[in-house]
Amino acid sequence: MMQPVKDLFRAREATRPVIIGLLLLTAVGAAIAVLTKQWCRVNGWPDAEQHLHMCYSDFTQLFGTRGMADKLFPYFTGLPAEQALEYPVLLAIIAGLTAMAIPGIGFSPERQLAYFDLNSALSFVCWAVIVVAVAYAARHRSRDAIMVALAPGIILTSQLNWDLWAVMLAMLGLLAFSRKHIVLAGVLLGLGAAAKLYPFFLFGAILVLCLRTGRMRHFWVSLGSGVAAWLAINVPFMLTAFDEWSRFYTFSGDRPAGNSSMWLAFVWTGMDGSTMSYLSNGLFGIACLGIAYLGLTAKRRPRMAQLAFLIVAAFLLLGKVYSPQFVMWLIPLYVLARPKWREFLLWQGIEVFHWVFVWLWSAKWVSGLKYFGDSWAIEILYGIGIVAHMAMLTYICVKIIGDIRHPERDVVRAEGDDDPLAGPLEGLEDKFVLGRKATSQA
């Protein structure tokens, strides 16, 4: 019985048995995910207790507070502004359509549970698609997709929000690019950006690689396709419900520093959310320029996944808000950029620690100090979790930068590939390298 498991851990190509094995492991991960939310599935989602039992979900929270239980479609509810759904269009569509699919009307515990279960099931489908996409994108290292199938960060956060839809579209976009489907890649990334902003940043990695190879047409075609897809989803809502459509952007700009963000350390300065947004965006822009400089000066062209991970990690480290489910954005990119099990497990262990104290801290304050009383132990441990998860993410970025500067250390290239995600750019000679003469990638 153990032989199939051993074969999977040694697998290279994404053959049919490997894909079946990965899907079975993903089903195991999903089953564990369900168990982590079982208290709430049985007892409902009471205010403080859902935090104490770490089974809070935006699915259930928004179903009852944003009019969806009454089958009011997001952006067209007629509810007060404070009850508007502050989400990008594609996620709002998914949230609204799944609410329409729940029999009956009005809020009840039974309908709330049905809504949670339906969206959880769809998130698990997204998870399975991501695992398969990573297996194919990893080429000769399909076994690395096991990390995605059993990632603690996904197990714990897959039912917290709709983020896995964006992650799925982002990974399918990168897979399409790796298969030389440039237009499809752009469309998928554009749809991903209509769900969460971060898939749009992946065009930055494409831009750097296209600059180095002198194939800018691939960048413009993919970007143009992405913009067209984003507009196709957004324009109808921009024209018919502009105030509600724009709430995501105004809310994101004005909101104060969120939990687990580095900007919490600067709340004492009195800076408002808008000022923090300007500073955060400015620092992210500088970080992107630094990543571009790294990519354009490296002696060997960086791999797509390496650049993509650095860009998204910079956004999360410097962002004004860090929600626990954001770790899912990075997990597939890490597996493609730097698939090292020990490092991965250490990172995920730290994220689990952070996750636990996010919710215990929240339970303490939502309950009005009913839980944990006046003790500052929870705050201290929560602070340690924030510092630890940011330090670990920074460490991974440093190691990936080292892999770019010293490509002989790259475990993916040790398999004999140039860049599995580079698609039409793979193996091409460099045409533009800052500070040195362009050379072949061979």
Across 102-131, average pLDDT: 97
- For residue 12, pLDDT over 90 is answered with no
Residue 411 pLDDT: 93
Which stretch, 224-228, 239-243, 264-268, 413-417, has highest mean pLDDT? 224-228
How is residue 341 written in tokens?
């099990």
- For residue 145, pLDDT over 80 is answered with yes
Where would I find the beta strands (DSSP E) of 62-180? none
Q: Higher confidence at residue 317 or residue 435?
A: 317
Residue 436 pLDDT: 72
SS3 367: coil
How confident is residue 442, by pLDDT bands cut at 50, 70 and 90?
very low
Residue type, 268: W
The model carries a pTM of 0.95
Residue type, 95: A
Distance CA 380, CA 214 (A): 51
Report which of 79, 82, 72 is spatially closest to residue 106, judged by C-alpha positions: 72
The string of pLDDT tens digits covering residues 378-404 is 999 999 999 999 999 999 999 999 999
Contact by Cβ (8 Å): 199, 170: yes
Residue 1 pLDDT: 44
Residue 4 pLDDT: 61
The string of pLDDT tens digits covering residues 299-350 is 999 999 999 999 999 999 999 989 999 999 999 999 999 999 999 999 999 9
Q: Which residues contact 232 (CB under 8 A, 6 or more apart)?
A: none
How confident is residue 136, by pLDDT bands cut at 50, 70 and 90?
very high
- For residue 213, pLDDT over 90 is answered with yes
Distance CA 171, CA 337 (A): 13
The string of pLDDT tens digits covering residues 30-40 is 999 999 999 99
